[in-house]
Chain A
C-alpha cells in the first residue's frame, strides 16, 4: 500500500513539476561559410556532438510557466563557457556570468534552471570573455510562448496566424582567427582586435545566402508576428513598407503600454522587439535592414528580408490531407505517405524563421523516409510540392 502511494505521489509530482531539459553542447570547432565562400572558424552551441554549431545556435522555445533545465555540456577542449539567459531575470546562480555564478570547464556539464517567465523574446549567450565568445557565435534566441496558445503574443495580447524570428548580428573575420578565438584562459586581460565587420547577418545568413532562402509569407489583412533581436555590436534599423502596417507591440519580453505604429524601428545591441505586420496589399516586397556603427550612426551594411503577401495559404495548396507525416513530433527521421494521385516532386523543410534546412527533389507516388537527424530541437515548416501546388505541415522536433 505504501509503495502504491509512493508511486501515485511520484506520478503526480512528475505532472506538477514537469521539467523540460534542453541539451546544448558548447563547441569551438565550428565552421561557417560566408556569403562569398570565405570559411571562418566559429564557436557555438549544438544539440548533438555530430552537429556543426551553427550561427545562431538553436532557437529555444518554451511555454510560460515551464520549469526549464538547460544542460550545457562544454566539449570545447578550450575555454570555459556559460549560458547567460539574457532578459529572463533569473537568480544570480543561473545568470551565467562567470565570476558571479559559475563557469563550465571542458567536458563538464553546467545546469541552468529557471521558470519560464513572461511570454516574449529573449536571448542566450556565453558570458565568458563575452566580447569574443559572442562574436565567435555563441548565441541564440529564446522564446517564451503563452501557455497553450502559440498564436498569441501573450495572454490578452494579439493573435496572429504566422510568425518569424530575426536574430541579427555581424561578422568581423579578423575576430575569427585562432590568435583571437583561442585566447588565454584565466583572470588575464584578453586582447581583441578593432571591430570592423564586413558581413551582416540575418539568422546567420547574408547577401545571396539570404536571397536564396524561401520568402517569408504574410497573409493579407492578417497579423504576422515578427520577433526581432540584435546580438551584434551595431544597431539595426528596420524600414518597413507602409503597406505592411507595422506596429511595435512589445520589447524585451514585455508588452508596450500602447502599440506604436511605425515604418522604422531601431534595434540596438541586446534589445528585442515584437512587431505585428498586417499587409493590405498583395505582392512581393522586402524589409530593408541597415546596420549602423554606434560611434557614428553611419550605415555600414544593408540586407533585405524578402516576403510575399498572399490571400491565404490554402489558395495555392493541394487538397488537405494529400499526404501524412509520421511521427510528429519527430526525432531523427520522418515518413511521408502520399495519399493523393499526384506525385510529390519536391520536399523542403525550413525553420519557422524561413531558413532552409532540408531540400530534396523526388518523384514519389507512395511513401518516402526523410533522414533529418541533423535537425535540432524546435519547430519547422515542411513544404511538399506537386504539380497542383504546395502543401505545408508544421513539424516539431522534441527536446
Chain B
C-alpha cells in the first residue's frame, strides 16, 4: 500500500511539477561525490533541484505524456543533452535554462545523457534514467557505473584521459556502494513471494558488469543491446556499457539474497573488500 501511495505521489509530481504546463525541471549540477570510504571525487548529475546529488537520476513519465523539459545548467561549461530514442537534443549554455517540448510516446527505459566532450561528461555522471511506464509498482531502478577516481580529477582539470587504460576503483549502484546502497529505496528490491518484481538497469559506466542474482532466476524482458536474449531465464546477466535492460522475477521463497557483480574485483572500493557493487534483496512471505 505504501509503495502504491509513493508511486502515486511520484506520478502526481512528475505530471504536475509546474501545474498546467506539465513542465519538468531538470538541473545539470556539479559537485563532490562522497564515496563509501569517505573520499570524494568531482562528479556531475541530473537533479530535480539545484542541489548536486549523484544518485539514480531517475525521471518518471507516463506513456503519451506531453512535457516541457526545463533544463537548467549550473555547470561552468555548456552541455548538449540527448535522449537518443526520442530524437531529443538540447544545448544549454553555462548558467542558462532552456525549455524543450517532448512527448513520451513509447514505454520503456531510456538514457538521458550529455554528449559534450563525449564520453567524458557522461562519465562524470551526466547519464540519467528516463522511465516511461503506466505502473511503477514493484519496480526498481539501478543506474550502475564505475569511477576511476584519477580520471574524475583529470576530466575536471581538462586533462586527457584514455579509456583504453581504464582501471576503475569504485563501483556504484545509484551512486552508492555496499553497504550504503542498502538504504536506497529505488535500488533495494523488496517484495513478497509470488510478486512480479521488475528491475530496470542502465549501465552508464564504461565497463561490463556481470550481475549475479542469488536465490532466484529472472527473465530478460528487454535489452537495448540485443533482442537475442529476450525471454531467456538466467541468474547472471552481463550489462554492457551503455546498455539498458529490464529483468523480471517472481520469487518462490522468502529470504534475503545478494545481487552482485561476479567480476569480484567490482565488489571492492579502492581495493578494499567488501564494498562495491553488492546489494541484497529481501523477500517476505
Contact = CB atoms under 8 A, between A and B. Distances in A.
Contacts of B254: 92
Interface in A115-145: 129-132, 134-135
B184 to A, nearest CB: 19
A86 B166 CA distance: 29
A235 interface: yes
Interface in A263-305: 266, 268-272, 294-298
A270 B262 contact: yes
Interface stretch (A55-63, A188-196, A331-339, A354-362): A188-196
Contacts of A260: 228
17 contacts: A86-B235, A92-B215, A92-B257, A97-B214, A100-B280, A189-B272, A189-B273, A189-B275, A235-B208, A251-B232, A251-B234, A253-B217, A254-B217, A270-B212, A271-B210, A295-B206, A296-B164
Contacts, number: 126
A250 to B, nearest CB: 10
Contacts of B215: 89-90, 92, 95
A91 interface: yes
Given A233-B264, A271-B236, A100 B256 contact: yes
A194 B255 CA distance: 34
Contact of B264 (A134, A194, A252, A297): A134
Contacts of A87: 235-236
B88 interface: no
B264 A131 contact: yes
Given A87-B236, A131-B264, A192-B272, 20 more contacts: A89-B216, A92-B254, A92-B256, A95-B214, A95-B255, A95-B257, A130-B264, A131-B267, A189-B274, A190-B272, A233-B263, A235-B210, A254-B232, A257-B232, A268-B210, A269-B210, A269-B263, A270-B210, A270-B236, A294-B208
A256 interface: yes
Nearest to A298: B164
Interface string A221-253: 000000000000111000000000000000111
A192 B103 CA distance: 48
B69 interface: no
Interface of B: 146, 163-168, 206-210, 212, 214-217, 228, 231-236, 238, 252-258, 261-265, 267-268, 271-275, 280
A269 B212 CA distance: 9
Contact of A235 (B216, B238, B273): B238
A91 B262 contact: no
Interface of A: 84, 86-87, 89-92, 95, 97, 100, 129-132, 134-135, 189-195, 233-235, 251-254, 256-257, 260, 266, 268-272, 294-298
A132 B273 CA distance: 9
Nearest to A248: B228
Contact of B265 (A131, A253, A254): A131
A295 B261 CA distance: 13
Given A192-B271, A270-B262, A295-B166, A256 B257 contact: no
A130 B265 CA distance: 10
Given A131-B268, A192-B268, A257 B231 contact: yes
Nearest to B209: A294
A97 B258 contact: yes
A194 B271 contact: yes
Contact of A91 (B163, B165, B228, B255): B255
A181 to B, nearest CB: 13
A270 B212 CA distance: 7
A193 B167 CA distance: 12
B257 A294 contact: no
